[in-house]
Amino acid sequence: MSGPIRLPRPRLLTDDQLTRICETGMEILARHGLMVMHAPALEAAGRAGLRVQGDRVFPERSDIGAFLAEERAGGRPAPTEAGEKTDLTLNISGYASHILDLDTDELLPCTEPLLIESCKLIDSLAAESVVGGAPGYPTEVHHLLQPLLKYKIQAQHCRHGGEPVDHMWPPTLPYVMEMAEALGHPIRSLPVYVVSPLAIGAESLESVMSAAHKLERVSASNMPSVGATTPIRIGHALALGLAEVAGAAMVLRAITGLPVGWSVWSMAFDMRGMSLALGAPEQRLFMWASEELNAFCRGREPGIPWGWGSMYTEAKTPGVQAAAEKMAGAMVYALLGARDLDGGGELKNIFSPEQLVIDCEIRDYVARLTAGVNGDCDPETCFAEIVAGIGHGFMGVDSTLDSYRDVYWFPRLFERRPVAAWIEAKGPDLRARAKSIAREFIAKYDYALADDISKEVNRIYADATKHLAVWPDDRRMA
């Protein structure tokens, strides 16, 4: 095969535009500063030599310029896929709030039993390059226990479930870190989230400061909504985003002394629905432009935009919209060279077992397309094949029998039969077939976490319930 096929990546922004975005971002940060919503971090920033006024940090413009020049000289590599990986991996997002019931099509809040059932399907598809854990957080327990119970569920029911979850709440972090250690995936890096416009959230700052002695690095990231928490023009939105994450990175480096990773992102926002629109065409464009800015700030060529948007959709049920948006996202990212696709089985904050089966089919379609073709032509072999097929056709020729599975992808779900055969079969419903396939995979489930590790996970969770389940709801972090 000639693949994986990678199309030339056109530029959205010119170097002149990117230069102006960077200069504007520096000016925004120097003039307006960055709000630090955590008093100990604000005090630490002042002790580290940053200029603090009220609840804001104001880096000097010369320091901002030096910081960006250092980042550019550092040359962090582009986000590309490792090795010569040819298959496409389908990743499960972990942020669904609801699950679409496989039998009734009823939309149900995520609960432990439903998440376990979902994990069984996800794990049974592991051999088909599906990677991930529990698709959402269990809602029936105290909010501080939700990340930990999610971690417990996926660790005990998914072979890829040992990767740490987003802990969300500072009181929960020590238990998540302890569970991660027990599962062999120690947490050595934590994110700090920027709240647009120009503020650093208290919870993530508190988590980083409490665990800094165990960390090797931290990161700063944002999810600004274009037209809602940023100006509507993408250049202006990127300038604000750069001011936010570069400022956060400077603060974090000063107060922790750790290496800090950061990237600028801009998210599509639906002005009518008042929510993020990760399946919109603008989302792909905004992420594309964001990656160009990240590359420019580091003196490299743009790579593949990290994650966001590859197979996300705004649809709430499987159907026309979900298929169109997911195929569009998967195709764009795969043709850019991505080998990992995000959003498997996810609708708009909804996990659907049926949709996961459909997404595997979409992923396999895209994988076959990007695999290319084998154009070799040996004269003697070609002549022999033609002689063998003349008068009889080529379906019975040895080379066809030997190679047809290498040339053609045969879908498990999509329909290709002639109309007459389809009518004779009474036109099977593809959604019903997808549900049937999901049930078949769930029935194959056979994973079990090692008993000693599972007991340790249970012990950590039981210990957490004694302390976190009694935490007053009115003491949620600001």
The residue extents of the domains of the chain are 383-428
pLDDT at 374 over 80: yes
In the predicted structure, residue 416 carries a pLDDT above the cut 60: yes
Sequential DSSP letters for 201-235: -HHHHHHHHHHGGG-SEEEEEE-PBBTTTB-SSHH
The mean pLDDT value for 149-167 works out to 95
Please state, rounded to an integer, the average pLDDT across all residues of the chain: 92
Give pLDDT, residue 308.
Answer: 65
Distance between the two ends of the chain, CA-based, in angstroms? 55
164: which DSSP letter? P
Q: What is the pTM of this model?
A: 0.93
User: Which tokens sit at 252?
Assistant: 């974090």
Closest CA to 152 of 140, 130, 137, 142: 137
DSSP state of 267: B
Which of 165, 434, 404 is CA-nearest to residue 318?
434
pLDDT, tens digit, for every residue of 59-69? 999 999 999 99
Minimum mean pLDDT range among 35-39, 83-87, 387-391, 403-407: 83-87
pLDDT (0 to 100) of residue 427: 80
Residues in the chain: 478
The DSSP 8-state label assigned to residue 129 in this structure reads: T
How many angstroms separate the Cα of 194 from the Cα of each of 3, 42, 44, 103, 252? 39, 15, 18, 40, 12
Q: How many CB atoms lie within 10 A of CB 415?
A: 12
Q: Mean pLDDT across the stretch 454-462?
A: 98
Answer yes or no: are the C-beta atoms of 170 and 206 closer than 8 Å: yes
Write down the pLDDT at residue 477. 38
Lowest mean pLDDT among 69-83, 104-118, 184-198, 258-272: 69-83
Task: Evaluate the CA torsion angle 154, 90, 355, 269 in order and state its sign.
Answer: positive
Confidence tier at 347 by pLDDT (50, 70, 90): very high
Q: How far is CA 55 from CA 37, 40, 194, in A?
A: 7, 11, 15
Query: Would you say 342 and 308 are in contact if contact means Cβ atoms under 8 Å apart?
Result: yes
In which band, very low, low, confident or very high, does the pLDDT at 82 lie, cut at 50, 70 and 90? very low
- Which residues contact residue 447 at a Cβ distance below 8 angstroms, ignoring those fewer than 6 apart? 123, 157, 158, 159
Predicted local distance difference test score (pLDDT) of residue 273: 92
At 352, phi and psi to the nearest 5?
-125, 115
DSSP-based three-state secondary structure for 407 = helix
